[in-house]
Structure 1
Amino acid sequence: MPDKIRRLLPLLGHSGGSRDAMTCLYRCGNACDHPVPNTSDNDYLGDVVNAGMSRRGVIRAGAVGGMVLGFGGALTSSAPALAGGTSHGGSHGGGKPVKAGRLTFEAVAPNTADAVTIPKGYRSSVVIRWGDAVVPGAPAFDVHNQTVAAQLKQFGYNNDFVGVLPVPGESDRALLVVNHEYTNENLIFPGFTTLDALTVDQIKIAMAAHGLSVVELERVKRTGEWKPVEGKRLRYNRRITALETRFSLTGPAAGHVLLRTAADPEGRTVIGTLNNCAGGVTPWGTVLSGEENVNQYFVGGDQAPEELKAKLTRYGITTTARYPSDSRKWERAQERFDLAKHPNEAHRFGWIVEVDPFDPEAPPRKHTAMGRFKHEGANVIVADNGRVVAYMGDDERFDYLYKFVSDKKFLKGNSPAARRHNLSLLESGTLYVAKVTGDSPASEIDGTGKLPTDGRFDGKGKWIKLVSGNTSFVPGMTAADVLIFTRQAGDAVGATKMDRPEDVQPSLRTGKIYAAMTNNTNRGVGTNAAVDEANPRNANKHGHIFEITEDRGDHTGTGFTWQLPIVCGDPAAADTYFGGYDKTAVSPISCPDNVAFDSAGNLWISTDGNALGSNDGLFATPVEGRERGHLKQFLTVPRGAETCGPFVTGDDRSVFVAVQHPGEITGATVEKPASVWPDGDFAKPAVIVTWRPDGGPIGS
Structure 2
Amino acid sequence: MLGLTHGNRSAVTCHLKCDNACSRPAPNSSCEPTFQRVASSALSRRALLAGGGALAAAVAMPVVHAQEAEATTRGSLGFTPITSVESTKDAFTVPKGFRWDLIIRWGDPLFENSPAFDPTKPDAQAQALQFGYNNDYLDIIETNSRGTRALLVCNHEYTNRAIMFPPTTTETEEAEVLRTLKAAHGFAVVELERARRGARWSYVRGGHHNRRITADTPFRFDGPAAGSDLLKTKADPHGVRALGTFGNCSGGTTPWGTVLSGEENFNGYFVADPAARGGKRYGLTSAASTYGWEKIDPRFDATKADYANEPHRFGYVVEIDPTDPTSTPVKHTAMGRMKHEGANIRVDDDGTVVAYMGDDEKFDYLYKFVAKNKFRKGSSRAARKHNLQLLSEGDLYVAKFSGTQEADNANLGSGEWIPLTKNGRSAVTGFTLEEVLVFTREAADAVKATPMDRCEDVQPDLKTGKLYVVCTNNDARGTTGKPATDAANPRPVNKNGHIIEITERRNQADATRFTWDLFLVCGDTDQAGTYFGGWEGPVAPISCPDNIAFDSVGNLWIATDGQPSSIKKNDGLFKVPLHGKERGHLVQFLAVPVQAETCGPVIHDRDGSVFVAVQHPGEEGTWAAQNSYFPDYVAAGATPARGAWRGPRPAVVQVTRA
Q: Normalized against structure 1, the TM-score is what?
A: 0.84
In 1, Cα distance between equivalents of 2:631 and 2:449: 43
Offset from partner CA, 1:175-227 (integer Å, 9 cap, x none) = 00010000111111112699x99711111100000000000001254334211
Shift of 1:133: 0.9
1:128 corresponding residue in structure 2: 104
1:581 corresponding residue in structure 2: 535
Q: Choose which of 334, 339, 348 in structure 2 pairs with 1:374.
A: 339
Q: Tell me which amino acid in the other structure corresponds to 1:336.
A: R
Q: Does the Cα contact within 8 Å between 2:488 and 2:518 map onto a contact in 1?
A: yes
1:227 corresponding residue in structure 2: 202
Q: Does the Cα contact within 8 Å between 1:352 and 1:370 map onto a contact in 2?
A: yes
Name the CA shift for 1:552/1:649 in 2 (closer, same or farther; >3 Å).
Answer: closer
**2:557 pairs with 1:604:** yes
Name the CA shift for 1:183/1:47 in 2 (closer, same or farther; >3 Å).
Answer: same
Q: Choose which of 311, 315, 327 in structure 2 pairs with 1:362.
A: 327
In 2, Cα distance between equivalents of 1:197 and 1:610: 41
Q: Choose which of 319, 328, 334 in structure 1 pairs with 2:297.
A: 334
In 1, Cα distance between equivalents of 2:3 and 2:219: 35
Aligned 1:437-476 pairs, distance under 5 A: 437-440=402-405, 454=408, 458-468=412-422, 470-476=424-430
In 1, Cα distance between equivalents of 2:169 and 2:284: 25
In 1, Cα distance between equivalents of 2:618 and 2:448: 41
2:161 corresponding residue in structure 1: 185
Aligned 1:96-245 pairs, distance under 5 A: 104-111=78-85, 112=87, 113-169=89-145, 171-191=147-167, 199-230=174-205, 234-242=207-215, 244-245=216-217
Aligned 1:389-468 pairs, distance under 5 A: 389-440=354-405, 454=408, 458-468=412-422
Name the CA shift for 1:23/1:561 in 2 (closer, same or farther; >3 Å).
Answer: same
In 1, Cα distance between equivalents of 2:479 and 2:519: 25
In 2, Cα distance between equivalents of 1:165 and 1:20: 33
**Alignment identity in percent?**
53
Q: Choose which of 473, 484, 498 in structure 2 pairs with 1:544.
A: 498
Shift of 1:18: 3.1
In 1, Cα distance between equivalents of 2:38 and 2:17: 35
Name the CA shift for 1:141/1:552 in 2 (closer, same or farther; >3 Å).
Answer: closer
Offset from partner CA, 1:491-532 (integer Å, 9 cap, x none) = 000100110001011111111011110000000011111000
Q: Choose which of 623, 629, 632 in structure 2 pairs with 1:676.
A: 629
SS in structure 2 of the partner of residue 26 of structure 1: helix
Q: Tell me which amino acid in the other structure corresponds to 1:311.
A: G
Q: Choose which of 607, 611, 617 in structure 2 pairs with 1:662.
A: 617
Name the CA shift for 1:197/1:277 in 2 (closer, same or farther; >3 Å).
Answer: farther
Shift of 1:170: 5.5
2:637 corresponding residue in structure 1: none
Shift of 1:574: 1.7
Aligned length: 612
Shift of 1:129: 0.4
In 1, Cα distance between equivalents of 2:455 and 2:350: 27
Give RMSD over aligned pairs: 2.4
In 2, Cα distance between equivalents of 1:591 and 1:198: 38
2:638 corresponding residue in structure 1: none
Name the CA shift for 1:269/1:256 in 2 (closer, same or farther; >3 Å).
Answer: same
**2:572 pairs with 1:631:** no
In 2, Cα distance between equivalents of 1:47 and 1:475: 28
Unaligned runs of 5+ residues in structure 1 are 1-10, 56-97, 442-452, 694-700
In 2, Cα distance between equivalents of 1:408 and 1:540: 40
Q: Tell me which amino acid in the other structure corresponds to 2:231.
A: L
Shift of 1:327: 2.9
In 2, Cα distance between equivalents of 1:457 and 1:541: 25
1:312 corresponding residue in structure 2: 279
Structure scoring higher RCO (CA < 8 A, sep ≥ 6) equals 1
Q: Tell me which amino acid in the other structure corresponds to 1:280.
A: G
1:62 corresponding residue in structure 2: none
Unaligned runs of 5+ residues in structure 2 are 46-71, 634-645
Q: Does the Cα contact within 8 Å between 2:76 and 2:608 map onto a contact in 1?
A: no
In 2, Cα distance between equivalents of 1:519 and 1:197: 41
Q: Does the Cα contact within 8 Å between 1:456 and 1:564 map onto a contact in 2?
A: no
Runs of 4+ in 1 over 3 A off after TM superposition: 11-15, 98-104
1:353 corresponding residue in structure 2: 318
Q: Tell me which amino acid in the other structure corresponds to 1:516.
A: V
In 1, Cα distance between equivalents of 2:36 and 2:169: 49
1:25 corresponding residue in structure 2: 15
In 2, Cα distance between equivalents of 1:52 and 1:571: 21
Q: Tell me which amino acid in the other structure corresponds to 1:147.
A: D
Q: Choose which of 689, 694, 700 in structure 1 pairs with 2:654.
A: 689
Shift of 1:399: 0.6
